[in-house]
Amino acid sequence: MTAEPPRPDPDALLAMAEREGRGRLKVFLGAAPGVGKTWEMLAEGRRRAAGGADVLIGIVETHGRAETQAAIGTLPILPRARLDYRGQVLEEFDLDAALARRPAILLLDELAHTNAPGSRHAKRWQDVEELRAAGIEVWTAMNVQHLESLSEAVARITGVRVAETVPDRVLAEADAVELIDIPPAELIERMRQGRIYRPDQATRALRGFFREGNLAALRELALRRTAERVDADVTGYMRANAIEGPWPAGDRVMALVGGDAAAETVVREARRIADALKAPLLALHVERAGVPQDGDPDAALRLAERLGAATETVVAADLPAAVLAQARMRNVTHLVIGRGRPSPWRRLTGRSLAAGLLRRATDFTLHLVPDATAAPPGAPRPRGRLPAWLPWIATPLLIAAATLIGAALDGTVPEASLGMVYLVPIVGAAVAFGPLQGLMAAALAFLAWNYLFLPPRYTLVIAGPQDVVGVVVFALVALLLTGTTGGLGRSVRAAQARLLGLRRLVEFSRRLGAPGEPGDIVQAIAEEASRLSGGAACVLLPLPPAPGESVPEPVLRSAVPIDAEPDEAAMAVARWAMAHGRAAGRGTGTLPASAWQFRPMRTAKGIAGLVGLRLRADLPADTDRALDALLDQGAIALERAELMEAQARTVARGETEALRTALLTSLGHDLRTPLTSIRGAIATLRRAGSEMDPATRDDLLATAEEETDRLSRWIANILDMVRIEHGQVAPRRETVDIAEAIEAAMRRGQGTAVLLDLAPDLVAPRLDPVLLDQVLANLLDNARKFSGPSGTVAARAAREGPDIVIRIEDDGPGIATTDLHRIFDPFFRATRTDRVVAGSGLGLAIARGLVHAMGGRIAAESPIAPNGRGTRMTLRFPAT
């Protein structure tokens, strides 16, 4: 059979298809200002225009350089847009005009430029993306220090932090990158000649940014970034055209990550090799289809990501073939693998990964990393594992027990059938101890069965043909069961361990997700960390730094057991971990002499806290991964609790502001109105009281008295509301006759007559008569106010199940449906008309507070009449 020819990579073809409908982007990249990026872009534009291309200058910044100005030549220039900003007129690139003009090639200088306020986009590179989406080819220029990923490196090199940056993906998605490069000495000479900046600026630049060391470092960054881009182009071309690599155009390193403890060592060694070669790094993990993993590669893959490597996971049956396929597809030149600890059988047959790659990876450089995690001779055995000698002793004992059972059955069971007795210990040894012990059990079982039970007995000779067939079948069945059950046993144990870990993780997640205070979350984290590590644990949260300090102080918030408090030396380790955001203490590379190890809980906002562990020995790999998951979940839970607290504070602040606004509004109107009436009545009586007739004087005095009562009620309502808000209302319960309470409240008010409808089976509940009288008076007063002099007000009371229900009804204009849920809010008024006397908006709020204090409920319904009018207030109190 002929091998299937290689096929193009679908992702590479998809990337090419996505570029088809977009305009091309060409970037002229330089190491520093003055290398000639804009000049070269203009010169190339003139050459293309001379060939008949429609070239348009969108923006070109000459910075006063005569050479750049002359390079424009006869190229047409797009007029700039004029934007008004704070009394100034700013000139900016006119994006809409460029889209309307649609040139074949648009020259747009200064890709990292920040647009003036009022522009459509904040950054010029965003203008470029819209132009490309419209199908316009764009040429642009930028310096390497403006790349977002290099801003920190440039700040360390030059001491100048670049404010305007461009995302790396913009350069990665460009169709062409042209490096404009000149030696640093030549660039400095151009600066001295005044060909880049004015003389005064040039002097300052030569003392600061334009030093030869700085320019050399920036030049290296530009060269390396361009080389990476060219390498990506080569790899993309190879994948799109199904070309098998590697092409020796540049070095690429790939680390093969497994699930063993040596995987992280392989990643670190691969990082060192990539750094030495100045090459990209890829970490690859291959899962074998149908074969359970011996460990978890997640920790090593996360380490690779932190070290700047790309990660990839694939599933395949043939491990070496999958590795080589990925290496050729990604144009890898160096393979880094761990030496590993393959079984003696694999070493003998040459089936280990290292041996397979040595035979087949003839086009690659292979690096074998020694296993530094292998236990030295005499090392203590990890807890929970059986001694290495125990399976080799237990397996013969199982065969001996099966032999005794066969001897007991001898004579009643045919000799050929006695072999079935030995299948039980074979399966048991394979499941409990592994395939090697299963093979040993199968061999011992065959010898015992043949020697003791098959004729001629007490020899290893097989006499009859049927015995030969039986022995062959027994051997095949035993070997099959050994291989199958051995792998099944490992799979079951691994699945049980993962299921237990997953169950614990789910339970912990549910505990963290339950509503609670931050203190409950911190306690849960400390308890889970103590359970996982098997020792004392604590949680420290950052205290906001004092004025003049930048690093928060870690403060102990929870410990398990409760007296497990870090000493002063351990707190120094915690401060270092908090300041640097890295693990420190025992088992780490920082301050390992401490008895405590502190691990940070990271969020997007920074360090949410530290988990401290008092360790007696290094943690196993699975426990370490479980602790990492604990830290991630704990950080998320703390961040969520902090956000919920902030939201609650915001809501409370908003409610307080709304209440303050309403109170000031009420004071401004409801307090001024009665005071104005009282003052007017008194002033009139003082000036002309002796000249008035008695009826007029009585009317003025009645007005002053009525407004005084209204003012007193309003102040009383305010005080009642304050008492309710602060929980100072304590009802004094006693038996209350509902009929008498309603009649007493009716007599307190004036105006519309009240229709009373009381059921005969009313009982006397235990309520506060004073509070109930105030509630009923407020509701009746409200109903009379809105029903008017000619309206109807009804008070009804009846027994409904376990409750006494009181309903106050009116036939007024009713309440809008949209306002029903706000009717009991303080200072809310549903209706303000000339016919209705305005209130303070506190009556119903007070009524709700008093009803709740007595253990009752209050609700509003509207409308209650077919004509869309009327309101019903319903009170419910427990009958007993």
Q: What percent of the chain has pLDDT over 70?
A: 73
β-strands 88-92, 365-369: how paired? Answer: unpaired
- Say which residue, 620 or 5, is predicted with more confidence: 620
- pLDDT single digits (tens) 646-666: 777 777 677 666 655 655 555
Look at the domain 11-240 and name its fold.
Rossmann fold (3.40.50)
Tell me which residue of 689, 687, 720, 763 sits closest to 849, measured CA to CA. 720
State which of 289-298, 324-333, 449-458, 803-812 shows the largest mean pLDDT.
Answer: 803-812
CA 564 to CA 611: how far, in whole Å?
A: 13
Judge whether 83 and 119 are in contact, CB under 8 Å.
yes
Q: What pLDDT is attached to residue 421?
A: 80
Q: State the CATH architecture for 518-650.
A: 2-Layer Sandwich (3.30)
CA 269 to CA 658: how far, in whole Å?
A: 63
Q: State the CATH architecture for 253-369.
A: 3-Layer(aba) Sandwich (3.40)
CA 245 to CA 328: how far, in whole Å?
A: 4
- Say which residue, 657 or 840, is predicted with more confidence: 657
Judge whether 263 and 307 are in contact, CB under 8 Å.
no
HEC profile for 563-586?
CCCCCHHHHHHHHHHHHHCCCEEC
Tell me which residue of 298, 297, 273 sits closest to 364, measured CA to CA. 273
Q: What pLDDT is attached to residue 15?
A: 56
43 token code pair: 């010169």
180 token code pair: 């404009």
Tell me which residue of 101, 109, 41, 49 sits closest to 75, measured CA to CA. 49
Q: How confident is the model at residue 489 (pLDDT cuts 50, 70, 90)?
A: low
- pLDDT single digits (tens) 415-448: 666 777 877 787 777 777 776 777 787 778 778 8
CA 717 to CA 843: how far, in whole Å?
A: 7
Judge whether 300 and 310 are in contact, CB under 8 Å.
no
CA-CA distances (angstroms) from residue 314 to 284, 288, 667, 848? 8, 9, 72, 65
- pLDDT single digits (tens) 726-741: 555 667 788 888 888 8
Match 């609670």 to its residue by tokens. Answer: 516
Q: What pLDDT is attached to residue 670?
A: 56
Q: What pLDDT is attached to residue 289?
A: 57
- Say which residue, 722 or 627, is predicted with more confidence: 627
Q: DSSP class of residue 690?
A: G
- pLDDT single digits (tens) 335-394: 888 876 655 555 555 456 777 787 777 778 888 887 655 544 444 444 445 567 788 888
CA 453 to CA 399: how far, in whole Å?
A: 14
Q: How confident is the model at residue 599 (pLDDT cuts 50, 70, 90)?
A: very high
CA 106 to CA 45: how far, in whole Å?
A: 9
- β-bridge partners, 808: 795, 873
Listed by start position, the domains of the chain span 11-240, 253-369, 390-491, 518-650, 729-878
Match 């000619």 to its residue by tokens. Answer: 790
CA 626 to CA 621: how far, in whole Å?
A: 9
- Count of Cβ atoms closer than 10 Å to residue 528 Cβ: 24
- β-bridge partners, 251: none
Q: Which residues have a Cβ under 8 Å from the Cβ of 15 and sit 6 or more positions away? A: 236, 240
Q: Does residue 469 have a pLDDT over 80?
A: no
Average the pLDDT over each of 92-106, 610-624, 829-843 and give the range with the smallest value: 829-843
State which of 15-24, 420-429, 571-580 shows the largest mean pLDDT.
Answer: 571-580
Average per-residue pLDDT in the chain?
76
* Mean pLDDT for the stretch of residues 164-191: 82
CA-CA distances (angstroms) from residue 338 to 129, 352, 369, 840, 847? 45, 11, 5, 81, 77
- pLDDT single digits (tens) 125-151: 889 988 988 889 999 998 888 888 777
58 phi, psi to nearest 5 deg: -85, -55
Tell me whether residue 758 is exposed, middle or buried, using C-beta atoms within 10 angstroms of its C-beta: 0 to 12, 13 to 18, 19 or more: middle
Is residue 878 reached through a cis peptide bond, with omega within 30 degrees of 0 on the bond before it? Answer: no
Tell me which residue of 730, 727, 715 sits closest to 663, measured CA to CA. 715
Tell me which residue of 823, 811, 837 sits closest to 755, measured CA to CA. 811
Q: Does residue 678 have a pLDDT over 80?
A: no
Q: What pLDDT is attached to residue 378?
A: 44
CA 735 to CA 177: how far, in whole Å?
A: 91
Q: What pLDDT is attached to residue 751?
A: 64
Tell me whether domains 11-240 and 729-878 share a fold: no
The alpha carbon of 423 is separated from its chain's Cα centroid by a whole number of angstroms, namely 53
- Count of Cβ atoms closer than 10 Å to residue 512 Cβ: 21
Listing DSSP states for 126-180 in one string gives HHHHHHHHTT-EEEEEEEGGGBGGGHHHHHHHHS---S--B-HHHHHT-SEEEEE
Q: Where are the alpha helices (DSSP H) in 381-517?
A: 390-409, 423-433, 435-452, 465-513
Q: How confident is the model at residue 85 (pLDDT cuts 50, 70, 90)?
A: confident
Q: State the CATH architecture for 729-878.
A: 2-Layer Sandwich (3.30)
